[in-house]
A and B are shown apart, each in its own frame.
Chain A
């Protein structure tokens, strides 16, 4: 599970468009209910392949952390593979592999997600493993020490040693001054070193409780049997006693643009613009997301065509909404070609955004965006694991798992005027953080050590 964090962070940053999934023509059928201890269960039956995805999503991410103990949420994602009262150290993954399955986990600012994909006759094994994790995982010094080292190694390999691995942390720490999104998901190694066994046990007891989790299962199972098994394995897990704390801080809006230059070992200049945008699910979020699709969806999108193809200023460009539970950000970025002044790149990017503010996009372009959005939604539902995760996401963030079937309509309702209005409202310089990531020999040498 060592490789997980950066994967999720980068994916969210670069790839996810907030459109997790959704079939437009064929609806995804599911049922949902709560156990007495508060565990929310979502079941989606699909017998097309004899496999089953057993997933648990905990409503805890880096934003729930104590500012003096950042990195705890991600750390737990590692720690909870260490075993439980009935599962020996290192055996968690061996059980799954021996059953012919795969497992993994990832952590974001808002939630932590664990899953196994198993042959369907091994469903019970998956339930046993996940219930052990929820009931009495091993939260002990031995595992904590081991995972501290692993997480440090992960940070080195996946962030320090990764091109522009500091992109997100440098950007988010300027977009947010008060809200806990300001620190990175991987957190501070000093904080993790300072945390003692009691801190960890407290975190586990507060957040790893059934009333803070969604058990989402998708695939080949018998609905009657599975409910009995779920009751067997999960209903005896006690409800959490402390109130699950959620941050209430509202990030104040900015009065002027924040600009900065970050020196590092990466050779090509990278220009990053981050705009504060509404939380996912808010009405304006959809127009903003469509706007980003207009800017960078496909070879023929506006930024690609203008900045990469025609002006040849950049190797590649992108603009993505970072879908978050609280108000989020759009990251627009361009990697300048060798020898190009980043200011020129920034101007070219701004020019494309100004165009959207001043001139309505064409009907044909709007149709293209809708077609692309629809295609993305449909493709997202190709795997049982993807469906299970989407259902859990929609329930956890927006309180309506059925959005897996209906959210696409919110996109298709967006008009050309909405996109222009979103550009005007959210893509102004006062609402923006602009960063240049530039090469610096000294910084490069330092990072070698």
Chain B
């Protein structure tokens, strides 16, 4: 090794001396591969069982502390989501400090701290390490999970879930996990609106008290620190952490499907299909096959552009912008997946190519040059990753946690170099299951689904909802029942046609909130052609809409715009409290599609149509008759957007019920409308609706 180092430059000098000039057409050859020296680490244990790993690195005067709670994965069931909520909220309040005090003390020393379900991370200049640890120790030992922070996060989570409903990628993420692992497995279960609503402060506290314990945890300290300081800091800031028995859980290995299946989540109006072909794999971190399997995955479609899936589906066929494969090792359950987003019309052709490439991996030996290219790539990535001391910390943690040989990572490159083309074929045959695939697709049911039946062993495409539950097809409505019957039932439920007919004017007051903003609104209506709505922020009116007979305007920040005919028609229809009894007056019609499910309750599903096109789908609760949900599509400059509206809690005034909590989701944004009060038939002058 040493010799080679000197020979190379001598050769260069020699060449230069001979030719007198550099031959620039010759691509330089690499010198001998450098030996890679992976930094060492030391460990010790506190009396409470906390295992501490110390990676000393004096390059920069910084130090970081990462705490990892190594508990078993948890099946959260009806409260799915509480574990991650507990993690996020740990730094939002302690018995002695508010969130803003915690933020201030972190900013003051130029540090950063984050918390998550199975631990926390903090980093700062080493001279501030004690101050940093004071904050981290307080967060760890005395979290309070303040109610207002719980509600804030719950709201954000609900908005996120609502916007995920229209995101093909988010749905695909859910579907893939649910199909590969099953919805009764911790990796396959999903957080829903219902489970999010069910989470209480006690759940968070119980999780914290039961699982956040030192005897199942690792503290990894990395950076500018000596062993003596590490020991005294660990004792001082984490020594008081009390140990306790932490329950353990075992799960059955997820099973492979008996033959290939297609799992489809319909997404209205989708122009692309998100495809992922997946199955669970049984391979633990550090398994003797792990490196060869990783090579296999990279050849098929890992990080490099040269992966087979990318070359085939993008470069050759132009079906997609990108196609990739992934392969994860895990103590409980690993997973293989290959995915791409493709145009509707090539969805079936793309599946053909995925199946071909996966199958080919298990049949053909790869070429030496392709294998070498992947090795070079992996070699370089590995070397570059070592620049960050956090990589060394991760290696150390893996060695301790998964009980790997101490030299696992220092031998990594040697083992990588030893992977042969035969090894790649062997692990492909062992781990890839071209006959037992979950072919998951999120997309346009009408345009795409039918053509996928050919790939299934059963001959049938299976349909699911966005959480991976079996999709409940609409049941037929009772013989002879029509949309009009549903509407009549609805009007009955909100007070009856007679009582509604007596409503001549209304004054509604309430609030609208968007993100952190809350605005007040007032809406007055009179007869079927007068309306005034104003939205205020503080004392200032920032939006106003007026309809007065044939005219209508909207005004925003002082700019007035006349309403179009279409907008006027729509607004008039809203003013007509019995509009659904004579839809034809508004150029609309309705059709009862059947009985479906909404939030696990049976509902009538009614499509509203205009010019033969469905403009919205409305859900009426079977038991109460009340409308609970609707979905509509609106054209916007950004393309068609789906708007979903959830309706809850009707309030009654003079025998008529009005919806009081309406939550509307448009793209990533949620608007919550809360009706506080309705007054009916108050005297009102026509002058109130005058347009200036």
Contact = CB atoms under 8 A, between A and B. Distances in A.
Interface of A: 23-26, 48-51, 85-86, 95, 97-102, 117-125, 127-128, 131-132, 135, 220, 222, 224-225, 228-229, 232-233, 236, 265, 297-301, 309, 312, 315, 337-341, 364, 367-368, 371-376, 378-379, 381-384, 441, 444-445, 447-448
B62 A341 contact: no
Interface string B45-79: 00000000000001111100000000000000000
A23 B57 CA distance: 14
B685 interface: no
Contact of A340 (B21, B35, B380, B517): B517
A285 B535 CA distance: 45
B288 interface: no
B27 A378 contact: no
Contacts of A48: 59, 387
Contact of B519 (A26, A51, A131, A339): A339
6 contacts: A26-B61, A50-B35, A121-B30, A229-B12, A371-B108, A384-B387
A274 B310 CA distance: 45
A55 to B, nearest CB: 15
Given A23-B60, A121-B34, A312-B517, A341 B373 contact: no
A123 B13 contact: no
A87 B106 CA distance: 51
Contacts of A337: 514-517
Contacts of B27: 95, 125, 128
Nearest to A265: B637
Interface residues on B, range: 35 or more
Nearest to A101: B380
B26 to A, nearest CB: 8
B304 interface: yes
Given A86-B25, A371-B108, A445-B637, A232 B62 contact: no
A340 B537 contact: yes
Nearest to A85: B24
A376 B386 CA distance: 21
A99 B12 contact: no
A100 B304 CA distance: 11
Contacts of A265: 637
B514 A338 contact: yes
A315 to B, nearest CB: 7
Contact of A378 (B106, B125, B516): B125
A121 B12 contact: no
A244 B27 CA distance: 31
Nearest to A219: B387
Interface in B628-669: 637
A97 B377 contact: yes
B16 interface: yes
B557 interface: yes
Interface in B88-134: 100, 103-104, 106-111, 124-125, 128
Contacts of B543: 339
Contact of A98 (B16, B106, B376): B376
Given A99-B30, A368-B107, A374-B125, A339 B61 contact: no
B5, B29, B377, B384 — most chain A CB neighbours (10 Å): B384
Contact of B373 (A23, A98, A122, A224): A98
Contact of A383 (B305, B387, B519): B387
A99 B376 contact: yes
A343 B49 CA distance: 58
A124 B11 CA distance: 13
Contacts of A120: 34
A233 B519 CA distance: 67
A97 B388 CA distance: 20
Contacts of B379: 100, 119
Contacts of A228: 9, 12-13
A339 B517 contact: yes
A124 B62 contact: no
A124 B380 CA distance: 15
B623 interface: no
Interface in B463-522: 514-517, 519
Contact of B110 (A26, A50, A341, A375): A375
A441 B559 CA distance: 13
A25 B61 contact: yes
Contact of B107 (A220, A301, A373, A383): A301
A232 B16 contact: yes
A97 B543 CA distance: 56
A121 B33 contact: yes
B418 interface: no
A269 B60 CA distance: 42
Nearest to B542: A339
A97 B305 CA distance: 10
Nearest to A136: B24
Interface in B520-552: 535, 537, 540, 542-543
Contact of A341 (B35, B104, B381, B540): B540
B28 A125 contact: yes
Contacts of A383: 387-388
Contact of B103 (A24, A51, A299, A371): A299
A64 to B, nearest CB: 28
B30 A122 contact: yes
Contact of B383 (A51, A375, A381): A51
Contacts of B22: 232-233, 236
A375 B33 contact: no
Nearest to A336: B517
Contact of A315 (B34, B515, B557): B515
B128 A102 contact: no
B691 interface: no
Contacts of B110: 368, 371-376
A212 to B, nearest CB: 21
Given A100-B379, A300-B103, A341-B542, A312 B516 contact: yes
User: What are the nearest 10 A-B pairs in CB distance?
Assistant: A100-B380, A375-B110, A50-B34, A124-B28, A298-B107, A372-B110, A121-B31, A371-B110, A444-B637, A300-B107
A224 B10 CA distance: 12
B227 interface: no
Contacts of B21: 236
A49 B387 contact: yes
Interface in B358-394: 373, 376-381, 383-384, 386-388
B615 interface: no
Contact of A100 (B8, B9, B377, B535): B377
B153 interface: no
B514 A339 contact: yes
B557 A341 contact: yes
A384 B8 CA distance: 24
A375 B25 contact: no
Given A232-B12, A232-B22, A312-B517, A26 B304 contact: no
A339 B537 contact: yes
Contacts of B29: 124
A312 to B, nearest CB: 5
B383 A100 contact: yes
Contacts of A364: 108
B32 interface: yes
A49 B25 CA distance: 30
Contacts of A229: 9, 12
B684 interface: no
A101, A364, A371 — most chain B CB neighbours (10 Å): A371
B205 interface: no
Contacts of A123: 31
A372 B125 CA distance: 10
A447 B636 CA distance: 13
A93 to B, nearest CB: 9
Contacts of A441: 637
A100 B381 contact: yes
B376 A100 contact: yes
B28 A128 contact: yes
A50 B100 CA distance: 43
A123, A315, A338, A441 — most chain B CB neighbours (10 Å): A338
